[in-house]
Amino acid sequence: MGWPARVGWALAGLGLGGCGEGAGGGSAHVGSRPAPVVIAASCTVDGVRVEVERGVEGGFGGESPCSYSGRFVSVWRDVYEERWGRVPLLESWTVRIRTPERVDGLGHSGLAWYDERLIELSQLHFELLPHELHHARQGKASTAHRGWCADFVPWELERHIQDERAQLGCDT
């Protein structure tokens, strides 16, 4: 097991502990748009543009919240790409870290906005990045999560990322 997976084990409990009904990652509804937010900083970490909303915390010893968040984005991207391969289109997407636990009114802690090429994640749920990367890789057709119960959901369970079986209607 690589170091990103070990970090995943350590962090999965933190992220999953706060999840309730309807929580988790998802794709944006067609025709909707991300909520306007005040961006405190942006940076590029390992080729990925990262934005942090004002109020996002993190960083030690003078490290900025953007750099700190970018490190977690890199860890979870590595976890995803270890199994699913490189996401070459990610360099043209932005990962925005948000302050609230839920980034929309439906209770999602992560969303992929296809038209904006934007992934939004709660600062409390970096572990949902693989879910959003899967949406980014598959495009708008992945909004219904078709086929995810056969391969992606078991992988998430194996990695202790999240359990989406009930949410996605998978047989348990």
Q: In whole angstroms, what is the distance from residue 50 CA to residue 43 CA?
A: 5
Per-residue pLDDT tens digits for 64-77: 999 999 999 999 99
pLDDT at 89: 73
Low-confidence ranges of the chain (pLDDT < 50): 1-23
CA distance 113 to 18: 23
pLDDT tens, residue by residue, 5-29? 434 433 433 333 322 233 456 666 5
Question: Quick one: tokens of 166?
Answer: 């009930």
Cβ–Cβ under 8 Å, residues 137 and 89: yes
Give the other-Cβ count within 10 Å of 132's Cβ: 25
Please give the DSSP secondary-structure letter assigned to residue 109.
S
Q: What's the pLDDT at 126?
A: 96
d(CA 110, CA 122): 6
Task: Report yes or no: 76 and 127 within 8 Å, Cβ to Cβ.
Answer: yes
